[in-house]
Structure 1
Amino acid sequence: MGIFKIEGGHQLKGSIQPQGAKNEALQILCAVLLTPDKVTIKNIPDIVDVNKLIDLLGNLGVKIEKLSEATYTFQADEVNLKYLESAAFKEDGRGLRGSIMIVGPLLARFGKGYIPKPGGDKIGRRRLDTHFEGFINLGAKFRYNREEYFYGVEADTLKGAYMLLDEASVTGTANIVMAAVLAEGTTTIYNAACEPYLQQLCKMLNRMGAKISGIGSNLLTIEGVKALTGTEHTMLPDMIEIGSWIGLAAMTKSELTIKNVSWDDLGQIPNVFRKLGISVEKQGDDIYIPAHTNGYEIQSYIDGSILTVADAPWPGFTPDLLSIVLVVATQARGSVLVHQKMFESRLFFVDKLIDMGAKIILCDPHRATIIGHDFKSQLKATTMTSPDIRAGISLLIAALSAKGTSTIHNIEQIDRGYEHIVTRLQAIGAKIERLD
């Protein structure tokens, strides 16, 4: 197990390039199973979760070639379906939440898909009903081994259907779309997720020969086709990493430029940080954050009531950045209520921030009120443990702004979502090192 040792209280300066989008990569990589042709994918992030999925695809028999640091080719022309029933697969699939998205492509192309109950962040219940109800609507038979926590769907033929999703699940929508593109007839998905990464998946599938309309809306129509062909795809920059670097700049009073952010795909992210008083400037396709030497002030609503930042399905604010917002608010002027609607355990890391001197009231598992210090009282260094990816990066930002030297354990959680983070932060002046 590794740890980060962080000497806080230093201003940073320079530019940082966001990695490819983790949440897009997990969908796109699974889509290579839909065709026997070669698929080239660019801007793949070098992070634990993505590398685990690439290894899993290799174990399934997908031919993988690394062309450069972030570009790979994949060819699923000799898929080993026996691997799906092996003990090795049950172990490999259990260690990665994104492994659930191999089920849709396997079901569509080979008539069966299996998966052990996936792991991932310990942030609360993350049910899979939406995925499997969608497959059942397409004509698949579902079975579940309760003793081994092993899911399976099988179908001789998938047939298009109308379905109203019970939640706008991004991974659920992606899985159902990948199953439906090779189904007979037309599939209509209402209350579909419409995040940019889901749009990217649909555009890629259309280039492969799929017929998906309504991309970017919550109503997708899919006309099934007989087969898909190969393609090339370049992934978007990771919007969660972009938001993390905005928060880092504000908390450390640093002047930072975040390069090539794909502004059109950021949605509410710049506006939410501006409501916290942070200057987020558009320079071409870059974000420029000036040094906030005089701090930043949280806006109130027009009637004077306290600002609430809550997550919502796209184009609402992403739940993955609420942990960052919470940390940034600890040094703002003013107060804010953070409302995490989706996951009931995601705010539990605030006890570590309270230990550092933050003024936070945890109202219930979903809501926290933060009273900002306005930098008049610096956070204190401490020893802490990262409970999940997003809480981990939030604690790292807090440590970089704190007085003294902090230690963060369980940094493998951070490695799951942020590539080469030590060298990238060191390049802009952060005092951070990785220790065994």
Structure 2
Amino acid sequence: MSAFEIIGGKKLKGEIIPQGAKNEALQILSAVLLTEEKVVISNIPDIKDVNKLIDLLAALGVSVSRINKDTYSFEAKSINIDYFQSEEFKHKGGGLRGSIMIVGPLLARFGKAAIPKPGGDKIGRRRLDTHFLGFEKLGAKFVYDAENNFFNVDASELKGAYILMDEASVTGTANIVMAAVLAKGITTIYNAACEPYLQQLCKMLNRMGAKISGIGSNLLTIEGVDRLQGTTHRMLPDMIEIGSFIGMAAMTGSEITIKDVCFSELGIIPTVFAKLGIQFELRGDDIFIPAQDSYEIETFIDGSILTVADAPWPGFTPDLLSIVLVTAIQAKGNVLVHQKMFESRLFFVDKLIDMGAQIILCDPHRATVIGLNKQVKLRGIEMTSPDIRAGVSLLIAALSAQGRSVIYNIDQIERGYQDIEERLRALGANIRRIEALEA
């Protein structure tokens, strides 16, 4: 089993370029199934989850051509619908959370789809009801085979409908939008997600000939069309990586420049890190973070402890709460981190406590961090990554810690972060991949 060995306590310095957005990629790549014409997509992150989806598309019959490291062309002329019944499909689809995203476009174009219950992070329940309730509103029927964990969906003709979503799910909204663009009539989606990645999908679909209005709001109107054409699309930089690098710079007291961040698309993210006391300045479209010996967490106006909680966009993304939590360990002051969406995502704090962090896990959703103000260094330990974001949080902690740390189960980290050890070494980090038995 591969692991990362980190010798921490070293300041980093240099420039780092964020990869293309993982959460955008899973939607955009699935959208190539909506047309038989060529779609060229650039700034695709070279990470396991995305590569698995590209492999799944190829197995379905999509012609895939890699133009360069981050650019591919796709032509979905000859989709093999019978592939759904194969054991190979069950294995490939079940190993990838993002495989659910192919259902909407397949329903729209072919009238049927199937998907095994997807895999992914072990961070708590991640229900798929929102997706299927939306498909049902459009006229689809589905049967869940509980024994085999398999969803079968049928829709001989999708028809536009008014859909009030039970939650502002990004993937749910994206899937329903992709199903609705080829449906007969007008679809209205209220309480729609409005994240930049969803906006990117809608803009791409409009370039393909779709008629979507209300982009960027929580009320989308989609006028169905008969067919879509090919297009080109470039993905945004990954905002979760950008936030991770901001936290890493603060924890390690490093001077780092994050390049080409598309700052206008980051929403409240820079503001939240500023509330932790992290200094930065915008230079063109780069974020420059100076080396800081200390950073102090703000309080609310009445002096009460700062709370950072996740919320639908334009609120703070849940994917960065783990990074906020680990960054606060060495801040001056205290913060309450409230993870509302997933009930298991904070369970990695026991490892941080073993490293010397002062954290109180209040319940599965809330943790209070008492900042060390860099008066006490964390100590290196051996630990296991439970999910993508916790894994990178542990990596940031290890980079700031005194001594040697080993992180096992780094497959989880590599599902979401491209060439992470090479990019960190370029900043001066002492990190290497080793083969080791998990502790």
Residue 157 (1) aligns with residue 157 (2): yes
Q: Which amino acid aligns with 2:71?
A: T
Q: Which amino acid aligns with 2:354?
A: D
Residue 379 (1) aligns with residue 378 (2): yes
Aligned equivalent of 2:332: 333
Aligned equivalent of 2:235: 235
Q: Which string of whole-angstrom CA distances, capped at 9 and with x for unpartnered residues, describes residues 236-271 of structure 1?
A: 000000000000000000000000000010001100
Q: Which amino acid aligns with 1:410?
A: N
Aligned equivalent of 2:224: 224
- How many angstroms apart in 2 are the aligned matches of 1:156 and 1:348? 44
Q: Which amino acid aligns with 2:358?
A: K
Aligned equivalent of 1:266: 266
Q: Structure 1 regions of 5+ residues with no counterpart?
A: none
The secondary structure found in structure 2 opposite 1:125 is coil
Aligned equivalent of 2:403: 404
Q: Which string of whole-angstrom CA distances, capped at 9 and with x for unpartnered residues, describes residues 11-48 of structure 1?
A: 00000000000000000000000000000000000000
What does 1:174-185 align with in structure 2 at a 5 Å threshold? 174-185=174-185
Aligned equivalent of 1:310: 309
- How many angstroms apart in 2 are the aligned matches of 1:280 and 1:56? 40
Q: Which amino acid aligns with 1:382?
A: I
- How many angstroms apart in 2 are the aligned matches of 1:9 and 1:65? 43
What does 1:7-156 align with in structure 2 at a 5 Å threshold? 7-156=7-156
- How many angstroms apart in 2 are the aligned matches of 1:141 and 1:9? 56
Q: Which amino acid aligns with 2:129?
A: D
Task: Give how far 1:153 is off.
Answer: 1.1
Q: Which amino acid aligns with 1:60?
A: L
Q: Which amino acid aligns with 2:373?
A: D
Task: Give how far 1:301 is off.
Answer: 0.6
- How many angstroms apart in 2 are the aligned matches of 1:145 and 1:395? 38
C-alpha contact 1:21 1:237 (8 A) present in aligned 2: yes
State the TM-score, normalizing by the size of structure 1.
0.99
- How many angstroms apart in 2 are the aligned matches of 1:113 and 1:280? 47
Q: Which string of whole-angstrom CA distances, capped at 9 and with x for unpartnered residues, describes residues 186-236 of structure 1?
A: 000000000000000000000000000000000000000000000000000
- How many angstroms apart in 1 are the aligned matches of 2:155 and 2:397? 50
C-alpha contact 1:20 1:44 (8 A) present in aligned 2: yes
Task: Give how far 1:421 is off.
Answer: 0.5
Q: Which amino acid aligns with 1:237?
A: P
C-alpha contact 1:273 1:280 (8 A) present in aligned 2: no
- How many angstroms apart in 1 are the aligned matches of 2:166 and 2:7? 46
Q: Percent identity?
A: 73
Give runs of ≥4 in structure 1 deviating > 6 Å: none
Aligned equivalent of 2:250: 250
The secondary structure found in structure 2 opposite 1:100 is helix
Task: Give how far 1:308 is off.
Answer: 0.1
- How many angstroms apart in 2 are the aligned matches of 1:435 and 1:84? 38
- How many angstroms apart in 2 are the aligned matches of 1:182 and 1:161? 13
Aligned equivalent of 1:299: 298
Q: Which amino acid aligns with 1:335?
A: N
Aligned equivalent of 2:392: 393
Aligned equivalent of 2:365: 366
The secondary structure found in structure 2 opposite 1:109 is helix
- How many angstroms apart in 2 are the aligned matches of 1:85 and 1:279? 54
- How many angstroms apart in 2 are the aligned matches of 1:198 and 1:111? 23
- How many angstroms apart in 1 are the aligned matches of 2:70 and 2:195? 23
- How many angstroms apart in 2 are the aligned matches of 1:310 and 1:176? 27
Between the two proteins, the alignment pairs up a number of residues equal to 435
- How many angstroms apart in 2 are the aligned matches of 1:19 and 1:423? 13
Q: Which string of whole-angstrom CA distances, capped at 9 and with x for unpartnered residues, describes residues 250-307 of structure 1?
A: 00000000000000100011000000000121111000000002x1000001100000
Q: Structure 2 regions of 5+ residues with no counterpart?
A: none
- How many angstroms apart in 1 are the aligned matches of 2:152 and 2:197? 26
Q: CA RMSD, aligned part only?
A: 0.4
Residue 418 (1) aligns with residue 391 (2): no
The secondary structure found in structure 2 opposite 1:215 is coil
- How many angstroms apart in 1 are the aligned matches of 2:280 and 2:367? 25
State the TM-score, normalizing by the size of structure 2.
0.99
Task: Give how far 1:70 is off.
Answer: 0.3
Task: Give how far 1:146 is off.
Answer: 1.0
Q: Which string of whole-angstrom CA distances, capped at 9 and with x for unpartnered residues, describes residues 309-349 of structure 1?
A: 00000000000000000000000000000000000000000
Q: Which amino acid aligns with 1:290?
A: P
- How many angstroms apart in 2 are the aligned matches of 1:69 and 1:99? 22
Q: Which amino acid aligns with 1:340?
A: Q
Aligned equivalent of 2:206: 206
- How many angstroms apart in 2 are the aligned matches of 1:370 and 1:140? 47
The secondary structure found in structure 1 opposite 2:287 is strand
